[in-house]
Structures are given as C-alpha cells and as structure tokens.
Structure 1
Amino acid sequence: MAREIEVKITHADFAYEELIVAISSRYELNFATQVDEIFAATPIDVLNPTAGTVICRTRTVGDEAPILTVKRRRSHNLDRDEEEVKVESVQAITRVLALMGFGHVAQISKRRAWTRLTDELTICIDSVDDLGVFVEIEALIQSTSSGGYSASEIQQALRLVDPRLADLIYRPGYSIVEKGYDTLLLEMNNS
C-alpha cells in the first residue's frame, strides 16, 4: 500500500499554458484529460473527513481502462493511504460501490500535465473545470514508513531538486489549498 501526501498550490496569476511552457523547458511532461468520479458513504465524508474515512475514485483517461482508487484518510485531508486497481468499467464498479454503501458525490474533469521529479516527488499542473489552475506536488512513500512529508517539507524538497521551479510555483501571493478537488467542488456547489 502506498501513502500519498499532496500539496496543492494556487495563485491568482497562474495560467495553465504559462506553467506548461516554463516546466516543459526543463522536464518532459505527460498530458492527459482525466475524468474522476468520486464515491463516498455520504457527502460529509468528503466535506469533513475524519481519520479512517474512506473515499473511492474512478479515473478515466481516454480509451484506457478506468482505475479505481480507494483512499483512507490519515492525518489530514491530503494525507492518505491508497490502493489502485484497473476495473472493467465505471458502470460496473459503480454498482459494486453502491452495494458497499458508497454513492456518487462529485465529478471532476481536468487537463493535467505531469512529470516525476524524483522517485518520490511528482509535479502536476491541473486545469480543473469550475475551479481553476493548480500546481500539485505529490510525495508517494511506502505506507509502512513511519515518516512522511509536511507541506513545508515538500516545499523544501522541491527547492532542493529545482530551485527555479520552486520560485515559479511559490511566487509571492501563492496559496496552499489543503483540500481535494472533490471537497472544493462540493463546497462550491453547496454555497
């Protein structure tokens, strides 16, 4: 089982294309349009997760087989244990999840560009429908590890790997978003 810790950064001046050009000048980027379907026992589990809360996500990328990701919250909203498996179809897994008490709570559509900076660090540039542009830095570690990364440790790790990239992302006026896209969409739709 893997443990994923994310840091999401946004800025009023972030432009998807600008970030793509800046990062692709130093790294080879992968591109995809992703559609995520989010399933939970209740929307509250997404809006106000507690330790141990389980959320399921199906991700569809083009013609590829969908992937089911089961996420169990650890210490904060973006610190989770994860398991992934390819599934036959979103419709089939939706029926299975319904039998387990999970209902569909959100759909997230995004354009994503990403690259792996190190074995543990991946950077993603996301343009999320209805939400805007974000930079997501993911630290993927083995769940058996007692350590992890905090948001500031991820920022420091990025600064060690690529100081110019860190300066581009952590420019004056940036904000760290401590919620997932699913939570942000549900909050926006409930306001």
Structure 2
Amino acid sequence: MGQSREIEVKYRVGDLAALEAELHRRGVAVSPPVHQDDQAYAQDGWRYGMSKLGVSFARLRTQDGRYLFTLKRPTDNELACLEFETEVADRDQMHEAIQYMGFRPTVRIVKTRRTARLGQRSLCLDDVEHLGAFLEVEEVIGSGRSGEAVQAELHAFALSLGVELARTTDTYDSLIRAASAGV
C-alpha cells in the first residue's frame, strides 16, 4: 500500500468577506468554527532556518476536548508532506512521550478554523492568533503524483476565486516564529 501525502497551498486573506461571498456563490458550505490549540515539535538538532525537507515534525492538537497527534515529514517542500495522524486519550502523557521520542516543543499555534470540501479538495479558513486570516487549500494524493504539480493545480484554483490572496510557502509555526522575532 502506497503512502498518502497531504499537499497544500496557503494564503494570507486580504478580504475575508469577499472570500466567504465567493465560496457561497459557488455553493460551498463552510463549517461552523472550531478552536484549535496546537503545540508544534521539532526533532532535537533541527533549528529554524534549516531545511525541513526529510525531517519529521510532530504536532499535538486540542480541539473540542479531543487530542490529535500528527507526524509530518516534508517531501517536495514544506507544504507537501507525508502525514500520519491519530487521536490520543491523554494530552499530557502524549506530550511527555513526544519529548522522549526525541522531539522538543517549538511554538504554539492557536486558531479558529472553518472547513469545507470541494471535490477532492479541503478548504480551511483560519484565523490564526497573532497572524490573521488565512486560506489553505489541501488535497491528499498517492505516491504516484508530484506534490509540486498538485500545488500548481491548487494555486490555479485559489486564483480562480478572484479575491485578494497573498501566497506563502511557510508553515504556521514558521510564520508565528518570524512574527514573534519581529522578522
């Protein structure tokens, strides 16, 4: 069985109301908001500024009283990753286990997320503390497709929305770290 990869493109949203109106015009139903509190982790020895390609990163998410553990490993670039995710029963125990596996906490990412589906694509409208509004467009693919080719398709879709979007190739943890460092 081939491994799945999550491929995404990410944008700062200039006019959230215009984006919501365009999605509504296209018949896209957006979910009610959920609060996500994520602790990001990096492997010991990895530092911001180093390449993320081929390096595993962990995340422990709290959402609606549930805890999700995620491991991501960037393949083509930071937003094209092998991804493994499972629910865990005890956040504190999982936090300790992650550290014993050789990861260290990096940044905390707190956001309000609304989601939608459009065919094979997932859309995430995020309001990230200290950063603002973002749109993520994601697709899960098998091993036979190029992550960068899929990102080009996702980017073309995002542009077709005709709203003010500024693409970023950084992950939320890198954006938050840069914002807190005044970069």
Same fold? TM cut 0.5:
yes
Q: Matches of 2:59 and 2:45 in 1, distance apart?
A: 13
Q: Matches of 1:48 and 1:188 in 2, distance apart?
A: 18
| SS state at 1:74 partner | strand
89-98 or 40-49, which moves further after superposition?
40-49
Q: Matches of 1:94 and 1:139 in 2, distance apart?
A: 28
Q: Does 1:167 align with 2:168?
A: no
List gaps (5 residues or longer) in structure 1: none
Does the aligned pair in 2 maintain the 1:47–1:186 contact within 8 Å?
Answer: no
Does the aligned pair in 2 maintain the 1:54–1:70 contact within 8 Å?
Answer: yes
Does the aligned pair in 1 maintain the 2:43–2:55 contact within 8 Å?
Answer: no
Displacement after TM superposition at 1:43 (Å): 8.1
Match of 1:145 in 2: 144
CA RMSD between the two structures: 2.2
Q: Which has the higher strand share?
A: 2
Match of 2:7 in 1: 5
Displacement after TM superposition at 1:138 (Å): 0.7
List gaps (5 residues or longer) in structure 2: none
Displacement after TM superposition at 1:18 (Å): 5.1
Q: What is the number of residues matched between the two proteins?
A: 177
Q: Matches of 1:45 and 1:114 in 2, distance apart?
A: 31
Q: Matches of 1:84 and 1:72 in 2, distance apart?
A: 12
Structure 1 residues 187 and 24: alpha-carbon distance in aligned structure 2, compared to 1, 3 A threshold: same
| SS state at 2:162 partner | helix
Q: Matches of 1:133 and 1:158 in 2, distance apart?
A: 15
Structure 1 residues 45 and 116: alpha-carbon distance in aligned structure 2, compared to 1, 3 A threshold: farther
Displacement after TM superposition at 1:153 (Å): 1.9
The amino acid of 1:39's aligned partner reads Y
Structure 1 residues 34 and 43: alpha-carbon distance in aligned structure 2, compared to 1, 3 A threshold: farther
Does the aligned pair in 2 maintain the 1:45–1:53 contact within 8 Å?
Answer: no
147-156 or 76-85, which moves further after superposition?
147-156
Q: Matches of 1:185 and 1:139 in 2, distance apart?
A: 24
Displacement after TM superposition at 1:104 (Å): 1.0
Identity level (%): 24
| SS state at 2:59 partner | strand
Q: Matches of 1:156 and 1:35 in 2, distance apart?
A: 30
Does the aligned pair in 2 maintain the 1:9–1:134 contact within 8 Å?
Answer: yes
Match of 1:34 in 2: 36
Displacement after TM superposition at 1:14 (Å): 2.5
Match of 1:90 in 2: 91
Displacement after TM superposition at 1:47 (Å): 4.4
Structural mapping, 1:29-178, within 5 Å: 29-30=30-31, 31-42=33-44, 44-45=46-47, 47-63=49-65, 65-119=66-120, 121-142=121-142, 144-148=143-147, 149-157=149-157, 163=160, 166-168=161-163, 171=164, 174-178=165-169
Does the aligned pair in 2 maintain the 1:47–1:183 contact within 8 Å?
Answer: no
Q: Matches of 1:20 and 1:33 in 2, distance apart?
A: 19
| SS state at 1:91 partner | helix
